[in-house]
Amino acid sequence: MLKRLRATDTTFRLLTRSAAIAVLVLLSGTIFSLVVGSAPAFQAFGLSFVVTEVWNPVTEQFGALAPIYGTLVTSAIAMLIAVPIGVMVAFFLTELCPKALRRPIAIAIELLAGIPSIIYGIWGLFVFAPFLQKYVQPFLIDAFGSIPILSSIFEGPPYGIGMLTAGFILAIMVLPFITAISRDVFDSVPAVLKEATYGLGCTTWEVFKFVILPYTRVGVIGGVMLGLGRALGETMAVTFVIGNAHKVSASILAPGTTISASIANEFTEAVGDLYTSSLIALGLILFVITLIVLSAARYMLLRLQKREG
């Protein structure tokens, strides 16, 4: 009996170790492939590849600045919209929503995560973008046109498609992740803490601000970073609505592009080793950006956990 249990335990240990090693091997292989594939581009352009805006396949002049800029801007817009809405929806579901409606609303929000990204892209192109072009973007241009800094951010004709539209679509796509994780961690707050705070005469907002959010901030930040990782790498939905223009513009209403959208649009049409290598180099840059973001999030969580003891 003991020998059988020992053999089972040894087999289980070997299987789990093999799974962990397999993940490391796959990750190492991915990094190696990206580095080897992007080497010709970096040899031809050097580090200027990262800060150059020109992208011209005819003259074989390539720069990653516009896709990098578009990736960061659209992700930032998405998080600015999705984080407060997601956290507030999670708080509503855990504290304020009638019990009969909690489950249906939660299921409806979580179903957003199951919709294919291409469906978001089609809806964004044929429904959401025309709505923004007709109503929202003209309002933003008129409202902020006379304010010095904001006039540059909301400048230009209302195309409908552009970085703002892509940011809105990404916000809808990452909202279920932020809401679901925030709701789960809000449910983990001990009821005695909230009851004691209410007993002191605090309002619902004060309970959320001084009890629930500080108690769960590690989990909330983890959910936000998970959503940010999704936003950085989203491809098809962004490709439909961002305009796919390799240029850097201060206006978020202008068309742009992202790293993933550029790869999806051009990889099948890439002719020549330098063109293909430049697209692979974009993939390597996206990998590095994601790694930096996740590492920063991990470091932030460790700092918070250390501070809390």
CATH 1.10.3720.10 assigned to 2-308: yes
Q: Is 61 helix (H, G, I), strand (E, B) or coil?
A: strand
- Measured CA to CA, the distance from residue 286 to residue 288 in angstroms comes to 5
- Measured CA to CA, the distance from residue 227 to residue 171 in angstroms comes to 9
Domain map of the chain by residue range? Answer: 2-308
100: left (phi over 0), alpha (psi -120 to 50) or beta: alpha
- Measured CA to CA, the distance from residue 144 to residue 155 in angstroms comes to 9
- Measured CA to CA, the distance from residue 209 to residue 200 in angstroms comes to 15
- Measured CA to CA, the distance from residue 253 to residue 138 in angstroms comes to 10
Say if residues 228 and 289 touch (Cβ distance below 8 Å): no
Q: Is 159 helix (H, G, I), strand (E, B) or coil?
A: coil
* Residue-level pLDDT, tens digit, the chain, 309 residues: 677 778 888 888 999 999 999 999 999 999 999 999 999 999 999 889 999 999 998 888 999 999 999 999 999 999 999 999 999 999 999 888 888 888 888 888 888 888 888 999 999 999 999 999 999 999 999 988 888 888 899 988 888 999 999 999 999 999 999 998 899 899 888 888 888 888 888 888 888 888 898 888 888 888 898 889 889 988 889 999 999 888 999 899 999 999 999 999 988 888 888 999 999 999 999 999 988 888 888 887 787 777 765
Q: Can you read off the two tokens belonging to residue 119?
A: 């469906």
- Measured CA to CA, the distance from residue 76 to residue 61 in angstroms comes to 28
Identify the CA nearest to 228 among candidates 298, 164, 159, 284.
Answer: 298
Using the Cα atoms of residue 295, residue 300, residue 306 and residue 308 in order, give the sign of their dihedral: negative
pLDDT given for residue 147 in this prediction: 85
User: Please, is 71 exposed, middle or buried when counting C-beta atoms within 10 Å of its C-beta (0-12, 13-18, 19+)?
Assistant: buried
